[in-house]
C-alpha cells in the first residue's frame, strides 16, 4: 500500500507522515507569516491547510476576487518546503451573501432564520448558494492547479448544516419523488394512514418541522437521509470542479467523529482520502478507548488504508463547560495512537492560536505562550517522533480479525421520539462494545452490514435496530459460511422503512439466533439491573422463548423473566438480550473471540496499556499516570529511542514504544483473522510537488 506522499515524492526521499494543521495567517500581520514558517520548520511541520474560512477575504463583494495575499502564502510555503492542503472556503459565506440573498440562509424547525455572524450559515438546497460556491471553487482551482505547493484539496469544513426552510422543502420533495416515484409509494413507506397523515399532493409534503406531538418516525428518517445526501451533493459539486483542474491530486472533507448527521459509509466512498476531526476530553478516563474507536472506524471507512487526522487540539478546546488543557505527554500519546490505528497524517486546529474571535481560547500548536511554551515544545517533540517513524510506518496496514457492524440508517431510525426507552443510545452501545474489546486488548475494525464479512473471524452487531433484507441475508450467509456472530438486543426489529418486522424480529434472524418467540421487550430504568447469574445486565432485557436446540448460556434470575435466556447461543451465533456491565461484556466477548481464533496482540498486558500491530511494528501505548512493565518475548528495538528491548519494557506515564518485531515473537492478528478489504479504499496523498 503506498504511503500518503507517494504520488509525487521526489526519487530518493523516504516516505513520511504528514504533520501540521490549519494555518489562518489572514488573521495576522504579514510580518508574522515568515516567523510562522520558521517555527514550522523547527517543529517538523510538512503540511498546512489554507483558506478554510477565507471566503470574505477572497471575495469581499459579489464577483470580486482578491488572491494576492493567498498567492504570497502559497509561494512562501513552497519556498520553505511545506505542502499546502488548499480548502474551498464554502462553509462560511460572507455577510453580503445573506444580506443580498436571504434564501441562502438556513432555517430551524420553528422557521427561524440562522443568520450570519458564525459559520455553517448556508442552506444546502439554495441554488444561489451553490452557484456562488461553484464559482469561487472554480476560480480557486484554476488559479492554483499548477502551483508546486498544492498537495491536496479540502472541501468545505465539517458538513453539518440542517435546514427546514422553504428551499429545503422544495428539494426534499424532489428527493422523495426520486426515491419513491409516486405519492402512493411514499404513503405506504411512511405509513401515513396512521393519524390521518396521508398526502394527496406533493405540495403538502414538508420537512418535519415543529409538530404538536410526536412526528412520523419514517418521515424523520427520510429527512435525515435527505440531509446527508444534500450535503453530499454540495461536496460532490466542489470536488468535481477541483478534480477537473487537478485530476492527480486527492480530495477530502473532514468528518466529525462518530457523528449522526452524515452517512459516513456513503460519504467515505466519495473521498480520495478519509479524514476526521477528533477532540476527546483530556479529563475523561474513557478518552483513550474513544480515540481507538474513532481510529478504527475511520480506517475502516478508508477500506483499511491510510487515513488522516485533519483536526485535533494541541491543548484545551473552548466549547466545553470547563476546558482543561492536556497534561504533558498526552498530546504526543494521542497523536501516536492515531498513527498506530492507521493514520498517515496527524494535523491540528490550528497552527497559531488566535488572539480574536470565538476560538481565541482554543489551543494551537503555537500557543499564546509562544515558542518557549510547553505546548510548542511538545509540538516539536511530536514532529521529531513522526519523522523517525515515517519511513517505516507510512502506508502500512493494521490487521484485525474482528468486525463491529455499524450503519447510520439504523442509528437514525432508532433515535426516535416514540421509542420504548430514551436511554437506548446507538452510539453509546456501540462504544460500550468496542470498549469491551479494547479492555480485552482485542483489535477491531468496523464494517457496514452489506460488506463482505468473510474476511473476519468474528462479527459483532451491538445495535442494529434497522436491517434491510440484504443485510439480514448477509449475516445469515456469514454464519453459514463458518463465521462467528454475536448480536445485541433490538437487532433486526425494523425494515428499511422503519416498519416493525412480523414477530418483532425478522424471521431469518430468529432462526439464526435460536429464538422461537419474542414475547416482550423489558427496558430498564436508570440504575436498574437484572441478575444474569454470573453478571448483571443493564439498560434492557427481553422476554423470549428459545427454539429447540438453542442453548441458554446465561439466564435471568428472579423477577418477571426468571429462567429465561439473557444470553442465547445457537451454533456459531449468540444473542444478548441485555447489556452486560463493562467487565462482564469484556469477558464475554473475549471468550467468544478466543473460541473464534482471535487473540490479543500481546498476552498479559496491564490495564490501560494498548497494543496495536501495524505492519511489522508493534505500538505499545500507556494510557495512564503510573509506570508499568510490559513483558515481551524475544528482543526488539524501539524506533523512538533506538534502544534494544529484551524481555521486559518499562512504560512511563503516557509512554509510547514502537517496536520492530518478528512474526514468531509477536504474531499478527491476521494469523487468527484477516485484514479488512471492504470499503472505498484511499488514494495516496502527496506531500508536495517539489
Write out the catalytic residue numbers.
158, 311
DSSP, residue by residue, 510-534: HHHHTEEEEEEEEE--TT-EEE-SS
The residues, ordered by sequence, that sit 6+ positions from 182 with a Cβ below 8 Å of its Cβ are none
The packing angle between helices 217-245 and 127-144, to 10°, is: 30
What sign for the dihedral angle of Cα 531, 537, 541, 546?
Answer: negative
Q: What is the DSSP letter of 167?
A: H
Question: Phi and psi (nearest 5°) for 163?
Answer: -150, 125
What sign for the dihedral angle of Cα 62, 66, 67, 73?
Answer: negative
Residue among 600, 651, 647 at smallest CA distance from 624: 651
The packing angle between helices 426-439 and 287-301, to 10°, is: 100
Length, in residues, of the chain: 690
Pairing of strands 254-255, 251-252: unpaired
Do 676 and 304 form a contact (C-beta atoms < 8 A)? yes
DSSP, residue by residue, 426-479: HHHHHHHHHHHHHHTT---EEE-TTS--TT-SEEEES--SB--HHHHHHHHHHH
Cα–Cα distance, 103 to 231 (Å, whole number) = 17
Do 614 and 305 form a contact (C-beta atoms < 8 A)? no
Cα–Cα distance, 413 to 265 (Å, whole number) = 16
Place of cell 459509509: 265
Residue among 688, 660, 680 at smallest CA distance from 19: 688
Do 301 and 279 form a contact (C-beta atoms < 8 A)? no
The reply to whether omega before 603 is within 30° of 0 (cis) is: no
Place of cell 514558517: 37
**636: part of which helix (H) or strand (E)?**
strand 628-638
Cα–Cα distance, 255 to 69 (Å, whole number) = 28
Please report, in angstroms and rounded to a whole number, the separation of the first and last CA atoms in the chain: 22
User: Burial level of 286, CB count in 10 A (0-12/13-18/19+)?
Assistant: middle
- 163 sits in the region (left: phi over 0; alpha: psi -120 to 50; else beta) called beta
Question: Phi and psi (nearest 5°) for 285?
Answer: -65, -15
Place of cell 488566535: 354
Residue among 584, 498, 513, 580 at smallest CA distance from 544: 513
Pairing of strands 644-651, 628-638: antiparallel
C-alpha cell at 450: 452489506
**242: part of which helix (H) or strand (E)?**
helix 217-245
Do 267 and 158 form a contact (C-beta atoms < 8 A)? no
Amino acid at each position: 500500500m503506498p504511503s500518503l506522499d507517494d504520488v509525487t515524492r521526489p526519487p530518493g526521499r523516504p516516505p513520511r507522515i504528514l504533520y501540521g494543521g490549519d494555518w489562518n495567517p489572514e488573521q495576522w500581520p504579514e510580518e508574522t507569516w515568515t516567523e510562522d514558517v520558521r517555527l514550522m520548520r523547527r517543529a517538523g511541520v510538512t503540511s498546512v491547510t489554507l483558506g478554510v474560512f477565507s471566503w470574505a477575504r477572497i471575495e469581499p463583494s459579489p464577483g470580486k476576487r482578491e488572491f494576492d495575499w493567498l498567492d504570497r502564502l502559497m509561494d512562501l510555503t513552497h519556498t520553505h518546503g511545506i505542502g499546502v492542503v488548499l480548502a474551498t472556503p464554502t462553509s462560511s459565506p460572507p455577510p453580503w451573501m445573506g444580506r443580498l440573498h436571504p434564501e441562502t440562509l438556513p432555517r430551524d424547525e420553528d422557521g427561524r432564520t440562522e443568520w450570519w455572524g458564525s459559520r455553517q450559515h448556508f442552506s444546502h438546497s439554495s441554488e444561489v448558494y451553490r452557484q456562488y460556491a461553484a464559482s469561487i471553487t472554480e476560480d480557486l482551482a484554476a488559479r492554483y492547479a499548477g502551483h508546486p505547493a498544492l498537495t491536496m484539496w479540502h472541501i468545505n469544513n465539517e458538513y453539518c448544516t440542517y435546514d427546514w426552510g422553504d428551499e429545503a422543502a422544495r428539494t426534499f420533495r424532489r428527493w422523495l419523488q426520486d426515491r419513491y416515484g409516486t405519492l402512493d409509494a411514499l404513503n405506504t413507506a411512511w405509513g401515513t394512514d396512521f393519524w390521518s397523515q396521508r398526502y394527496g399532493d406533493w405540495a403538502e409534503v414538508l420537512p418535519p418541522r415543529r409538530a404538536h406531538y410526536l412526528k412520523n418516525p419514517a418521515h424523520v428518517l427520510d429527512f435525515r437521509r435527505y440531509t446527508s445526501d444534500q450535503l453530499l451533493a454540495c461536496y460532490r459539486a466542489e470536488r468535481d470542479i477541483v478534480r477537473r483542474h487537478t485530476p492527480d491530486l486527492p480530495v477530502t472533507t473532514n468528518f466529525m467523529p462518530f457523528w449522526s448527521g452524515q452517512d459516513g459509509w456513503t460519504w467515505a466512498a466519495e473521498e480520495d482520502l478519509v479524514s476526521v476531526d477528533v477532540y476527546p476530553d483530556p479529563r475523561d478516563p474513557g478518552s483513550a478507548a474513544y480515540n481507538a474507536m474513532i481510529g478504527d472506524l475511520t480506517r475502516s471507512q478508508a477500506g483499511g488504508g491510510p487515513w488522516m487526522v485533519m483536526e485535533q487540539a494541541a491543548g484545551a478546546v473552548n466549547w466545553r463547560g470547563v476546558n482543561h488543557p492536556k497534561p504533558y505527554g498526552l498530546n504526543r500519546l494521542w497523536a501516536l495512537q492515531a498513527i498506530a490505528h492507521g493514520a498517515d497524517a496527524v494535523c491540528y486546529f490550528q497552527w497559531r492560536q488566535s488572539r480574536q474571535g470565538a476560538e481565541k481560547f482554543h489551543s494551537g500548536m503555537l500557543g499564546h505562550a509562544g515558542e518557549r511554551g510547553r505546548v510548542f515544545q511538545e509540538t516539536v517533540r511530536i514532529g521529531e517522533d513522526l519523522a523517525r517513524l515515517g519511513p517505516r510506518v507510512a502506508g502500512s496496514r493494521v490487521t484485525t480479525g474482528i468486525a463491529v457492524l455499524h450503519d447510520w440508517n439504523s442509528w437514525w431510525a432508532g433515535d426516535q421520539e416514540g421509542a420504548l426507552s430514551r436511554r437506548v443510545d446507538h452510539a453509546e452501545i456501540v462504544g460500550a462494545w468496542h470498549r469491551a474489546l479494547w479492555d480485552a486488548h482485542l483489535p477491531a475494525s468496523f464494517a457496514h452490514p452489506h460488506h463482505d464479512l468473510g474476511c473476519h473471524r468474528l462479527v459483532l452487531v451491538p445495535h442494529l435496530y434497522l436491517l434491510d433484507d440484504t443485510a439480514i441475508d448477509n449475516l445469515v450467509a456469514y454464519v453459514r459460511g463458518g463465521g462467528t456472530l454475536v448480536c445485541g438486543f433490538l437487532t433486526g426489529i425494523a425494515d428499511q422503512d422503519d416498519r416493525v418486522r412480523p414477530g418483532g424480529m425478522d424471521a431469518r434472524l430468529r432462526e439464526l439466533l435460536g429464538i422461537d418467540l419474542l414475547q416482550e421487550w423489558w427496558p430498564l430504568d436508570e440504575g436498574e439491573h437484572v441478575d444474569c447469574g454470573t453478571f448483571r445486565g443493564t439498560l434492557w432485557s427481553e422476554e423470549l422463548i428459545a427454539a429447540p436446540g438453542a442453548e441458554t448460556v446465561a439466564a435471568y434470575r428472579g423477577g418477571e423473566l426468571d429462567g429465561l435466556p439473557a444470553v442465547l447461543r445457537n451454533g456459531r451465533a449468540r444473542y444478548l438480550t441485555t447489556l452486560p456491565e463493562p467487565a462482564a461484556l469484556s469477558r464475554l466477548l473475549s471468550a467468544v473471540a478466543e473460541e473464534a481464533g482471535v487473540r490479543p496482540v500481546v498476552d498479559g498486558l496491564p490495564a490501560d496499556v494498548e497494543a496495536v500491530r501495524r505492519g511489522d511494528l508493534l505500538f505499545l501505548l500507556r494510557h495512564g499516570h503510573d509506570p508499568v512493565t510490559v513483558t515481551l518475548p524475544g528482543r526488539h528495538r524501539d524506533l523512538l529511542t533506538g534502544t534494544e528491548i529484551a524481555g521486559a519494557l518499562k512504560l512511563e506515564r503516557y509512554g509510547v514504544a514502537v517496536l520492530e518485531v518478528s512474526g514468531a515473537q509477536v504474531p499478527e492478528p491476521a494469523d487468527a483473522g484477516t485484514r479488512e478489504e471492504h470499503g472505498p479504499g484511499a488514494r495516496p496523498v502527496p506531500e508536495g510537488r517539489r
